[in-house]
Amino acid sequence: MYLDTAVKIPDVKGKITLQKKGKTTYVQYEYDRIYLPDKQYTTVSRASIGKLADADKMLMWPNENYVKYFPGAALPEVRDRTQRSCGLRIGTWIVIRKIVNEYNLPEILERYIPARDVGLFLDLAAYSIIEEDNRAQHYPSYAYSHPLFTEGMRIYSDSKISSFLQEMGEEAGADFLNDWNENRDHREKIYASYDSTSKKSSGDLRIVEMGHSKDDEETDIFNYSIAYDTKNREPLFYEVYPGSINDMSQLQCMVDKAKGYGYRQMGFILDRGYFSKDNISYLEDNGYSFVMMLKGKADLVREWVLENKGTFETNRANNIPEYRTYGKTIRKKIFATDKEKRYVHLYHSSVREANERGKIEDTINRHTDFLRKHINQFKDFGPKIESYFELTYEENARRKGEDNKEQVGRKFVFFEERAYAIETELNLCGYFVIITSDKMTAKEALELYKGRDSSEKLFLSDKTFLGNSSLRVGGDESAAAKIFVEFVALIIRNRMYNYLREELKAMPNKPDYMSVPAAIRELDKIEMARQLDGVYRLDHAVTAKQKTILKAFDLTEENVKYRAEEISKRLETGN
């Protein structure tokens, strides 16, 4: 994250170096130098403190590390605005304010960060929700046209935000999570959906390592996971861990954290990426139940499905109409060393079957066309194609190379489908399996697993609607603070989603403006305008569509008028 104030490159003799990458030149500061007598050389530690702002190499755009290593540097704290926008968009902010107070967030946050900074913290969370962005340099533009939680609705500069995140550090988020989870009813039986995602970062962070992102791209990432209470529909806690650690390995650490937060009556809803003998044993050894999806093409799944195929797919007693699915429960050992049989829930969906069959047929047709184009060519094919086709080659075939010299190799000459392999895969279309440690029906297991939809939507909102697909910070302290802000923003946005979803269920028609992004766009049209006397007043009445959205949050037009007057008074008095 770069500040929007250019500063002089620090005049520290022998400590500053310039490093050019592509079209950008970074300013590196040497902050430590250690001599290793056993190896007889000196190690040098450097950090990027900004990037060049001019061709004369006199000015640079600083980042958080500049604030860290040069804390005495003069940077503007309050944004230089002679006035605010003549129109303030207040609708979504009023909803966020209600939820903030509902969760008593100001009082909780004051325990871990200075009271003077709580308003800025909440403003950063509101900014990421409303603007779907997390870049500090764009925050002042948001603050220019929205009400704020800061004292006197003060608009802070991005340099103040940078120092704020730097000073908050890592402990505040950890303390908040302890507080947030301590207030739960730990005697209540809940199922927590646990899922993870990866985030990119350009900063020099301890947790950033080379790993595989969820798009299977190998790049510098860190991993971020969330445990979500599917019963009460709230995020519980988050984890941040290095990009090289995969999901399966991290699960046991998460179980230890859940125990540390005091959860005893808890089950975990997990996707297929967490399935392993060690993970299942660890969950049960610690007294936690589980609901887990299995990989559709696993040998166990094939065996169970083929054993029971034709016994439940059209039996009305096995129908689960809410999901247009049929289900059956059997008892099986998953691993040979299991002491007890598990509850294995088999499902078949005709809709899913049609979709999966279509994909397989499309794949076969695409591979067939590809193979035809390469007959009589010297080419080998990968295992995916070879799993569907028997390929014939002419060994020791001869051809002329580019240098006109004769070469010997394998020439592809013929192919035919592996009919049995294709038919077996087609026969498995539409089936999926969930295993549970607790006794329950196929319908109950499916309903619990479908509760994961909320946590998946939470990750979608984090990346898509909070602008958090990457973390734009340069230091570990700022990264920890920013992730903390993101989590609080997720708590607020998730509550907005739940309010809207409950209202939508009761509506005979399903209007398209009851999603969170659409509701934000509509509510942000509620504005206050500054008039000739300098006083902000509500610009126009609330529309019928806006009233419908506000009703989902138990708010009315009168609430909007009251908050508008309150905002106006705060701006007049500076309180």
Helix (H, G, I), strand (E, B) or coil at 15: coil
Q: Cα–Cα–Cα angle for 276, 470, 463, nearest 5°?
A: 70
Report the chain's terminal Cα–Cα distance, integer Å.
Answer: 30
Polymer length in residues for the chain: 575
Q: At what angle do helices 115-131 and 476-505 cross, to 10 degrees?
A: 60
Sign of CA dihedral 144, 146, 149, 152: positive
Instruction: Calculate the CA 511 to chain-centre distance.
Output: 27
447, containing H or E segment: helix 442-450
Q: Which residues contact 558 (CB under 8 A, 6 or more apart)?
A: none
What is 97-130 written as a DSSP string? HHHHHHTTHHHHHTTTS-HHHHHHHHHHHHHHHH
Give residue 409's pLDDT: 85
- Total-model pTM: 0.72
289-293 and 431-436 strand pairing: antiparallel
Q: How far apart are CA 139 and CA 156, in angstroms?
A: 9
Beta partners for 289?
267
What is 435-503 written as a DSSP string? EESS---HHHHHHHHHTHHHHHHHHHIIIIISS-SEE--SSHHHHHHHHHHHHHHHHHHHHHHHHHHHH
Give residue 210's pLDDT: 61
Q: Which residues contact 256 (CB under 8 A, 6 or more apart)?
A: none
Q: φ, ψ for residue 497 (rounded to 5)?
A: -60, -45
Q: How far apart are CA 547 and CA 39, in angstroms?
A: 72
Q: How far apart are CA 301 and CA 480, in angstroms?
A: 41
Give residue 298's pLDDT: 72
Cβ 222 vs Cβ 300: under 8 Å: no
Q: Which residues of the chain have pLDDT under 50?
A: 79-82, 465-467, 469-470
- State pLDDT tens for residues 446-492: 999 987 766 566 656 555 544 454 455 556 777 888 889 989 999 99
Q: Which amino acid is at 103?
A: Y
Q: What is the DSSP letter of 280?
A: H
Q: Which residues contact 507 (CB under 8 A, 6 or more apart)?
A: 514
CA atoms within a 13 Å half-sphere pointing along the CA-CB vector of 334: 20
Q: How far apart are CA 258 and CA 251, in angstroms?
A: 11
Beta partners for 21?
24
List strand residue ranges (DSSP E) for 232-349, in order.
234-242, 266-270, 289-293, 319-320, 325-332, 342-348
Scan for tokens 């604030």, then name that residue. Answer: 67
Residue 506 corresponds to which tokens in the numbers above? 């009761």
Residue 16 corresponds to which tokens in the numbers above? 């500053």
Q: How far apart are CA 324 and CA 272, in angstroms?
A: 22
Give residue 7's pLDDT: 82
Q: Which amino acid is at 304?
A: W
Query: Quick one: 183 exposed, middle or buried, by C-beta within 10 A (0-12, 13-18, 19+)?
Result: exposed
